[in-house]
Structure 1
Amino acid sequence: MNFKEKLEDQDIFRRVGRIADEMGLETYVVGGYVRDLILNRPSKDIDFVCVGPGIDLATKVASSFDDHVPLSVFKNFGTAMIKLEDWEVEFVGARKESYKFDSRKPIVEDGTLQEDQERRDFTINAMAICVNEARYGELVDPFGGVEDIKRKLIKTPTDPNITFSDDPLRMMRAIRFAAQLNFDIDPDTFDGIVNNANRLSIISGERIIDELNKMILVDKPSYGFKLLFASKLLHEFFPEMVELQGVDSVGDKSHKDNFYHTLQVLDNICTMTDDLWLRWAAIMHDIAKPPTKRFNKKVGWTFYGHEDKGARMTPGIFRRLKLPMDERMKFVQKLVKLHLRPIALVSDKVTDSAVRRLLFDAGDAIDDLMKLCRADVTSKNNNKVQRYLANFDKVEQKILEVEEKDQVRNFQPPVSGEEIMSIFGIEPSRIIGELKEDIKEAILEGTIQNNKEDALQLLYRLAELRGLKRKID
């Protein structure tokens, strides 16, 4: 198979081939770029392998441009990279690898193209296209990568048990590629993942979560999570999610399988947003159902307080999974805590005060919270789904009306603590916080309007009850 025409879109291939010929280096474009070329997927990373010193080739290529081209050299890894506008172009010498059992860091030696292809993770990533003039565009595909792309199959080029034992991160990559490309995993390859799942323990949390987040960002992440669960990889790093799986029954009373419910919520929300952290909120929203599960003879299975406990669990899970401990975690935590609140506002008897409190607590996350609530409707009864969604329409209308009237979303107290200290000539103390809290409660209850004049009048009354007198200027 010849890819000469497909390579003509970019000058870099002819340029590298010409310089490689001048240096007497057999050179190929390899890996993901070749795979994506065949799949007609966009790619901004190009990897070149030469049988010889890759850094020397990269240096010559970088200096061949009239304009300055940034060159980064990584001597420890024997690689170099140049940046061309929004392209990243990496060069490495062909190599063979061996591994120690307790590490995924390879012992690297110079090798042939065949040895370089044998070390790669999957057949679809082990193809190479020659850029030397004599063989320009010629595909080298010793493991049938093209055929596996046609079959939509993820398969290791050599024994999967060796491939995954050597570098256990490849197991996460196998499932990530299956989820991204909507491919199946070859049965022997999947067995290799099952056999080596416990080897994931030698991989850093940062590398695992990087692969997981890429999986979460696909159009339908549930497929990847089902593979993680079936292979027992999920058990290695996210036991809280594994605990969601299963159904308990007492007599004729059962609860739904919260693992598969969570995956449905995740898929649902992916139709509404590409935001990674809103997707994480979907993953985490019911995470505390297992520890809060109780059986009541009258009502059946209950999960009272799972939203509060889930919010308390969120920081610990984020920390262990090496997810960011910043505003992104707090956003997920907030949505977990609040995800049951909107449905309680459906009743016509609900007061504006309850809506104001939700707006105050949710702040700018209110729109994302409503998306999560809609995604959380997973009944197989379509009439029930439509009824719940119509209820959320009512809630959103109430929110709009109250917000327009009272403007309490993320409102700042009309009177600050500094102003209170200045008005009464007092030092920082607990009473200042109490006064601010009383003013906030009055606004949320609708006792006063959300403006400075009403807030000051209430402040003076509250201060008088506490024996505080205004300072005379």
Structure 2
Amino acid sequence: MQFEMTAQEEALFKTIAQAAQKLGFPTYVIGGYVRDRLLGRSSKGKDLDLVCVGSGIELAKAIAKCLKPQPKVVTYARFGTAALHHKDWEIELVGARKESYRPESRKPIVEDGTLEDDQNRRDFTINALAISLNEADFGQLLDPFGGLADLEAKCIRTPLAPETTFSDDPLRMMRAIRFASQLGFEIEEKTFAAIQSERERIHIISQERISSELNKIMLSTKPSLGLSLLFKSGLLELIFPELYAMHGVDEKEGVRHKDNFWHTLKVVDNMAEKSDDLWMRWSALLHDIAKPLTKRYFKGQGWSFHGHEAVGGKLVPKIFKRFKLPLDQKMKKVQKIVSMHQRPILLTQDRENITDSAIRRLLFEAGDDLEDLLLMCEADSTTANPKKLARYADNLIFLRQRLQEVEEKDHLRQWQPPISGEEIMETFQIKPSKQVGQLKNAIREAILDGLIANEYEAARNFMLEQAAAMDLFPKK
């Protein structure tokens, strides 16, 4: 089968072909680029993987000399790979190779090989498709494992026996699930059974590689497809026991609670419809993560998960650290949303009695993350009852109106108390101390409670009154 090229592709591919021919290296475009072009998938960039029967580094340098402007070649001698950037193309080159893992090792044994060897080591049939850039069959689609038929059938299948493929590189188990999630494909029955039987092998894979695949699943159009496959395969229990522990429903005295795992997956999907932001999706994934730890049954009252949001907030840094995720503002944002996700909902349970003070505190504590917090609340509604759904949505609309009213009046979204600790120390000629903190807190609370206006003079007068009661005035 001949691969239909665009004019841009043909020009670049012929340049590559000429450089490869001079070196005598048979060369092929392989993998994701071929798959996505055949699927008609568009991507932000153009990542091109080339495999040659020879030195990928030597070929990269030869190709660079043929391009204008001449790109810089980045080489990775240890792995025999090279990369270069040309216009909007990111090109990676590697020599054809055999690759396998020892039972206890995370690092592969790599040997030179043929194109057939290289295709054999590919993870799935849809990623083993190759386009020849050689003079004799330029543009020919090479499909040794029926990858084209699997594309049409929307099937994820391994080129070799799946047990061999997954044992050699256990990360491929997660990649199978990731591709199923990204593409909306199904994993072939024998392939999925092999994931289940080989799942313990995931322990030899580094956390960084596991987290990278998990993040790609999270960024799928419908993340629950991949997350549910992780659960059904047994991998989730091994890589994310806290999330796995949310599964199941307990019953006492005929009273049951909802399955928090499947509820969470629905919330993540809801968030995915609203936001492409990875960390908002992580907020959705972790919002109820502490429910298994806080689950209690009270006779005559039913099930309670009291304080799960606070406990969940404390778990976020631990989970991020274990998954090697950034421990910066991204983590702090997720932590804040998890810790506060119940606040807006609880406020609306008694709409008529929401005080300005409660609104001020929500504005102050949510700060710049207020809109994301409200987005989390919207995603958290998974009821199938139309009346409950409408009431929940109406309550959030009402809360937004109240927040806007108080914000316009008090300007608390990015608020800092008008009196600083430095001014307190200078005014009363005192050093940093517990009393300074007490005064700052008293001023802040007075403003949030509406006892004084959010302005400098009112705050300073209040400070002097409080300081007099605390006997902080300098002695004369």
TM-score by length of 2: 0.97
Deviation at 1:7, TM superposition (A): 6.7
Q: For the residues of structure 1 that align with 2:326 and 2:56, how far apart are their CA atoms? A: 36
| SS of 1:76 mapped into structure 2 | coil
| SS of 2:274 mapped into structure 1 | coil
Deviation at 1:323, TM superposition (A): 1.5
Once the two structures are superposed, residues 405-455 of structure 1 have per-residue CA deviations (whole angstroms, 9 ceiling, x without a partner) of: 111123111011111111112111111111000000000000011111111
The residue that corresponds to 2:72 in the other structure is: 70
The answer (yes or no) to whether the contact 1:423–1:471 under 8 Å persists in 2 is no
**Which aligned pairs between 1:142-153 and structure 2 lie closer than 5 A?**
142-153=144-155
Which residue identity is paired with 1:146? L
1:385 and 2:389 matched: yes
Q: For the residues of structure 2 that align with 1:6 and 1:157, how far apart are their CA atoms? A: 29
| SS of 1:298 mapped into structure 2 | coil
Most deviating of 360-369 and 65-74: 65-74
The residue that corresponds to 1:30 in the other structure is: 30
Compared with structure 1, are the counterparts of its residues 174 and 465 closer, same or farther at alpha carbon in structure 2 (3 Å cutoff)?
same
Gaps of 5+ in 1: none
TM-score by length of 1: 0.97
Q: For the residues of structure 2 that align with 1:467 and 1:171, how far apart are their CA atoms? A: 68
Which residue identity is paired with 2:170? P
The residue that corresponds to 2:426 in the other structure is: 422
Once the two structures are superposed, residues 57-97 of structure 1 have per-residue CA deviations (whole angstroms, 9 ceiling, x without a partner) of: 11111112242311011111111111113321011111112
The residue that corresponds to 1:106 in the other structure is: 108
The answer (yes or no) to whether the contact 1:425–1:471 under 8 Å persists in 2 is no
Once the two structures are superposed, residues 382-406 of structure 1 have per-residue CA deviations (whole angstroms, 9 ceiling, x without a partner) of: 1111111111111111111111111
Deviation at 1:4, TM superposition (A): 4.5
**Which aligned pairs between 1:178-189 and structure 2 lie closer than 5 A?**
178-189=180-191
| SS of 2:353 mapped into structure 1 | coil
Deviation at 1:106, TM superposition (A): 1.9
The answer (yes or no) to whether the contact 1:4–1:136 under 8 Å persists in 2 is no
The answer (yes or no) to whether the contact 1:2–1:137 under 8 Å persists in 2 is yes
Once the two structures are superposed, residues 319-350 of structure 1 have per-residue CA deviations (whole angstroms, 9 ceiling, x without a partner) of: 11212212111111111111111122222111
Q: For the residues of structure 1 that align with 2:439 and 2:155, how far apart are their CA atoms? A: 65
Most deviating of 60-69 and 355-364: 60-69
| SS of 1:348 mapped into structure 2 | helix
Give 1:164's match in structure 2, choosing from 163, 166, 188: 166
The residue that corresponds to 1:402 in the other structure is: 406
Deviation at 1:471, TM superposition (A): 9.1
The residue that corresponds to 1:437 in the other structure is: 441
1:454 and 2:467 matched: no
Q: For the residues of structure 2 that align with 1:83 and 1:445, how far apart are their CA atoms? A: 58
Deviation at 1:313, TM superposition (A): 1.4
Q: For the residues of structure 2 that align with 1:88 and 1:10, how far apart are their CA atoms? A: 16
Which residue identity is paired with 2:405? E
Which residue identity is paired with 1:243? A
Q: For the residues of structure 2 that align with 1:443 and 1:157, how far apart are their CA atoms? A: 67
Q: For the residues of structure 1 that align with 2:194 and 2:106, how far apart are their CA atoms? A: 16
Q: For the residues of structure 2 that align with 1:8 and 1:414, how far apart are their CA atoms? A: 61
| SS of 1:80 mapped into structure 2 | strand
Q: For the residues of structure 1 that align with 2:475 and 2:421, how far apart are their CA atoms? A: 15
The residue that corresponds to 2:11 in the other structure is: 11
**Which aligned pairs between 1:312-351 and structure 2 lie closer than 5 A?**
312-346=314-348, 347-351=351-355
Moved over 6 A (4+): none
Deviation at 1:237, TM superposition (A): 1.2
Deviation at 1:37, TM superposition (A): 1.1
The answer (yes or no) to whether the contact 1:424–1:471 under 8 Å persists in 2 is no
Determine what percentage of the aligned residue pairs are the same residue: 53
**Which aligned pairs between 1:279-294 and structure 2 lie closer than 5 A?**
279-294=281-296
Aligned residues: 472
1:217 and 2:215 matched: no
**Which aligned pairs between 1:55-204 and structure 2 lie closer than 5 A?**
55-204=57-206
Deviation at 1:293, TM superposition (A): 0.8
Which residue identity is paired with 1:128? A
What is the RMSD of the two structures over their aligned residues, measured on CA atoms?
A: 1.4
| SS of 2:85 mapped into structure 1 | strand
Which residue identity is paired with 1:370? L
Q: For the residues of structure 2 that align with 1:65 and 1:271, how far apart are their CA atoms? A: 42
Q: For the residues of structure 2 that align with 1:344 and 1:258, how far apart are their CA atoms? A: 19
The answer (yes or no) to whether the contact 2:163–2:194 under 8 Å persists in 1 is yes
1:354 and 2:390 matched: no
Deviation at 1:8, TM superposition (A): 4.9
Q: For the residues of structure 1 that align with 2:409 and 2:347, how far apart are their CA atoms? A: 17
Which residue identity is paired with 2:461? Q
Deviation at 1:252, TM superposition (A): 2.4
Deviation at 1:464, TM superposition (A): 1.2
The answer (yes or no) to whether the contact 1:318–1:324 under 8 Å persists in 2 is yes
Which residue identity is paired with 2:159? P
Most deviating of 102-111 and 376-385: 102-111
Deviation at 1:233, TM superposition (A): 0.6
Once the two structures are superposed, residues 19-57 of structure 1 have per-residue CA deviations (whole angstroms, 9 ceiling, x without a partner) of: 112222211111111101101113521011111122111
Q: For the residues of structure 1 that align with 2:432 and 2:252, how far apart are their CA atoms? A: 57
Q: For the residues of structure 2 that align with 1:186 and 1:130, how far apart are their CA atoms? A: 28
Q: For the residues of structure 2 that align with 1:386 and 1:66, how far apart are their CA atoms? A: 60
Q: For the residues of structure 2 that align with 1:324 and 1:66, how far apart are their CA atoms? A: 38
Most deviating of 265-274 and 8-17: 8-17
Once the two structures are superposed, residues 285-321 of structure 1 have per-residue CA deviations (whole angstroms, 9 ceiling, x without a partner) of: 1111111111112121111111111111111111112
Deviation at 1:107, TM superposition (A): 1.5
The answer (yes or no) to whether the contact 1:4–1:138 under 8 Å persists in 2 is no
The residue that corresponds to 2:41 in the other structure is: 41
Q: For the residues of structure 2 that align with 1:31 and 1:368, how far apart are their CA atoms? A: 37
Q: For the residues of structure 1 that align with 2:389 and 2:40, how far apart are their CA atoms? A: 38
| SS of 1:83 mapped into structure 2 | strand
Q: For the residues of structure 1 that align with 2:256 and 2:307, how far apart are their CA atoms? A: 19
